[in-house]
Structure 1
Amino acid sequence: MDDINDLAKTLTHDDLIEVTKSSLCTLITSDRLLSDLPPDIILEEIISQIAVEHGQSITIFISREDEPVLKVIVPQNATVIDLKKAIARHFELHQKRTGNKVKISWKYIWRTYDLNFDGIILDDNCSKIDNYGVTNKVTLTFKKRKKKKNI
């Protein structure tokens, strides 16, 4: 124990952070229950995973045309707007992990696309997602909005 204290006193703050990160990464990748988590997981993601395990949240898969499927976690009583915020947050984390610095205009996305579940458009932001039949482990897709004709 004294060796650890002596070592901690000689390392800088940045060195300690690096050692801690690498130790956590090794621990996460070597544990069979944690190995599917990203090595740079954040506290928000850990809390979400715990909520899923306790049945307080659900996992929803978001399918995009030629892109990988996003796995989004939301509370069971979430509204459509909560789901949209969770998608934006998850995508921001995905962008950060892949090193992509492209700025996404979510106002444009939600003005141009709707979320679709089995042919049903999730169009009321205040409505709960379970009103549309969205449950655990379902897949939602982005569907291009049709332009309204002005007569």
Structure 2
Amino acid sequence: MASGRDHDRATSLWALPMAGLLAMLLGGWAGALGGLAFLMGGLWLSPDLDTHSRALNRWGPLRWIWWPYRRLLPHRSLFSHGPVIGMALRLGWLLILLLLVWQALAWLPLHWVPNIQEGLPRLLQQLVGQPNALLAVLLGLEASVWLHLILDGDPLPAEWRARRRR
């Protein structure tokens, strides 16, 4: 199993090649976004957010937002380290928190806060309008999970394989 420093080094090393690959497949700007997503996925949205890790410490004073995630998911479980599902849970958790903060700000009488009823559909419309960019971001995030699993030595830990055989 790789150390946090090894994960960080490999993520940094592979970010540019990942951006290049995604640029060839999906276009220049989409590739750049995918490379950035790969970097963010490996450094800030690591599967190791379920432990006291370098990725968790990068969140600084906001690391408390991962407390429920850390308490509910065992380390290296299918739900924390699993392909697709692990990143989906982390992104879902962040989305829930973001929507809660956005809704709380919408109740305040601040003129600079966009109305959630207006802003959210507009944001979703922009995301759907850029399918290559969205795909590149999702691929970059998921590729960072696979790199993490490969560095840990086994992309499909024995506990997962045992559950599949039952």
Normalised by the size of structure 1, how large is the TM-score? 0.25
Higher relative contact order (CA 8 A, sep 6+): 2
The structure that is strand-richer by fraction is 1
The structure that is helix-richer by fraction is 2
